[in-house]
């Protein structure tokens, strides 16, 4: 009589029992004393080069926050309170902030929404306003604020900022029109708007 092959195989004693497989493994990092782990987190997130995190489609948050729930709960407060978030995609900003609890959102010091784009279309109204900084940026900033509010995300005043070019410098500001007006008063914005 024929028997399927898997029934005929000899029993292997080196296979772990199901109870051993289902037990979660504890990370050696979590076995360290809390004081030492906190020093590691502060070194990791408060270093001079790690204070800006670029949100992109491939990476909405740093990999360490996705390793396990215990690490996430221990590290996320330090990360979000010490890191400037930056993205040029409003949908990714909304997705990231919507996934966080209000406590973590309240800890974020700054979110930089990069609205700069290369516009080469001759008939675009953006070309007409490129010498008038702040106008397009203000519209995009207000649109993102409204979208965040519609998704239940509340930010403190001044947290969400856009980049405005004033003369030869770039400024991150939550009030782009006001910043442009200050630039005009100081003589940093020179030029005239032309209509085609």
- pLDDT digits 0-9 by tens, 84-110: 999 999 999 999 999 999 999 999 999
Q: Look at 7 and 141; give whichever has higher pLDDT.
A: 141
In a domain, 134, yes or no: yes
pLDDT (average), residues 64-90:
89
pLDDT of residue 151: 95
Phi, psi of 160 (to 5 degrees): -85, 125
pLDDT greater than 80 at residue 188: no
What mean pLDDT, rounded, does the chain reach? 80
Q: What is the largest CA-CA distance in the chain?
A: 96
Q: Mapped to the 3 state alphabet, what secondary structure does 1-39 carry?
A: CCCCHHHHCCCCCCCCCHHHHHCCCCCCCCCCCHHHHHH
> At a CB cut-off of 8 Å and minimum separation 6, what does 147 contact?
90, 94
**pLDDT band at 155; cut points 50, 70, 90:** very high
In a domain, 108, yes or no: yes
**pLDDT band at 195; cut points 50, 70, 90:** very low
In a domain, 74, yes or no: yes
In a domain, 7, yes or no: no
Q: Is 121 exposed, middle or buried (0-12, 13-18, 19+ CB in 10 A)?
A: exposed
The whole domain housing 139 covers 35-185
In a domain, 194, yes or no: no
pLDDT of residue 192: 40
- pLDDT digits 0-9 by tens, 115-150: 876 555 656 655 555 556 677 889 899 999 999 999
Looking at the chain, the whole-number percentage of residues with pLDDT higher than 90 is 34
In a domain, 12, yes or no: no
pLDDT of residue 101: 92
| Count: domains in the chain | 1
- Counting every residue written for the chain, the total comes to 196
Q: Look at 142 and 182; give whichever has higher pLDDT.
A: 142
Strand partners, 166: 169
pLDDT (average), residues 29-37:
89
Provide the whole-model pTM: 0.75
In a domain, 46, yes or no: yes
pLDDT (average), residues 154-171:
89
pLDDT greater than 60 at residue 7: no
In a domain, 19, yes or no: no
């Amino acid at each position: 009589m024929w028997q399927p092959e898997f029934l005929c195989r000899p029993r292997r004693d080196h296979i772990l029992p199901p109870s051993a497989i289902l037990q979660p493994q504890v990370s050696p990092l979590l076995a360290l004393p809390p004081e030492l782990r906190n020093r590691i987190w502060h070194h990791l997130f408060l270093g001079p080069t790690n204070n800006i995190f670029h949100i992109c489609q491939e990476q909405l948050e740093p990999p360490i926050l996705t390793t396990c729930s215990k690490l996430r709960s221990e590290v996320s407060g330090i990360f979000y309170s010490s890191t400037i978030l930056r993205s040029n995609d409003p949908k990714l900003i909304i997705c990231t902030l919507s996934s966080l609890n209000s406590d973590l959102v309240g800890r974020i010091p700054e979110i930089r929404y990069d609205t700069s784009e290369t516009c080469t279309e001759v008939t675009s109204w953006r070309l007409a306003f490129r010498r008038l900084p702040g106008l397009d940026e203000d519209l995009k900033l207000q649109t993102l604020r409204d979208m965040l509010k519609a998704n239940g995300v509340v930010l403190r005043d001044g947290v969400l900022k856009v980049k405005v070019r004033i003369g030869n410098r770039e400024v991150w500001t939550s009030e782009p029109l006001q910043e442009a007006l200050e630039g005009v008063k100081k003589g940093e914005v020179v030029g005239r708007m032309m209509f085609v």
